[in-house]
């Protein structure tokens, strides 16, 4: 049984953080087994942030894959972190990379990749990809499952 006494958000009423900087990513221990590492996927198909110039909402489908080492990101804290971007003005590239870097800082995984599939702004969809390096040997990496933007076609 995992000791959850150190977790401050799981099982508690927590307000949405006002910014990603104010959000706390919590972790839980992970006992890695022998053999190739596990790949954990988080998908956020309704991610929202704000355009830093106009203040209008931007929308993305975010897919995060990581190979945990000794720590997992606790999913409620991740949800609160992701939701905190609704009040945050930043360009697509900054939001996507910031999410990846924060998860890496919190969990120190063996490997992480993130794909931000942003819906069109000014008629141009922007897809942003970032990873920490080559994936570990022997892991199974499924396709992200997000089709390129096709508009109405």
Q: For the beta carbon of residue 18, count every other beta carbon within 10 angstroms.
A: 12
Residues in the chain: 153
d(CA 66, CA 45) in angstroms, rounded, equals 17
Q: Is 77 known as a binding-site position? A: no
Q: Is 94 known as a binding-site position? A: no
Q: Is 26 known as a binding-site position? A: no
- What is the set of active-site residues? 51, 58
Q: Is 73 known as a binding-site position? A: yes
d(CA 128, CA 80) in angstroms, rounded, equals 22
Please, are residues 41 and 65 in contact by the beta-carbon 8 Å criterion?
yes
Strand 71-73 versus strand 40-50 pairing type = unpaired
Extract the runs of DSSP E, i.e. beta strands, from the chain.
27-29, 40-50, 57-67, 71-73, 111-121, 124-131
Q: Is 13 known as a binding-site position? A: no
- Annotation: binding site: 73-75, 92-93
Tell me the binding residues for substrate. Answer: 73-75, 92-93
């Amino acid at each position: 049984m995992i000791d959850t006494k150190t977790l401050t958000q799981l099982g508690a009423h927590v307000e949405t953080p006002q910014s990603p900087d104010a959000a706390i990513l919590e972790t839980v221990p992970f006992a890695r087994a022998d053999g190739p590492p596990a790949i954990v996927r988080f998908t956020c198909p309704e991610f929202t942030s704000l355009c830093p110039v106009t203040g209008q909402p931007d929308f993305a489908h975010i897919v995060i894959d990581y190979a945990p080492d000794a720590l997992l990101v606790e999913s409620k804290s991740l949800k609160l972190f992701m939701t905190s971007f609704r009040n945050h003005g930043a360009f697509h590239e900054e939001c996507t990379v910031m999410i990846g870097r924060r998860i890496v800082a919190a969990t120190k995984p063996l490997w992480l990749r993130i794909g931000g599939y942003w819906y069109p702004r000014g008629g141009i969809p922007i897809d942003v990809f970032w990873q920490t390096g080559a994936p570990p040997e022997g892991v199974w990496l499924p396709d992200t499952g997000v089709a390129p933007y096709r508009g109405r076609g």
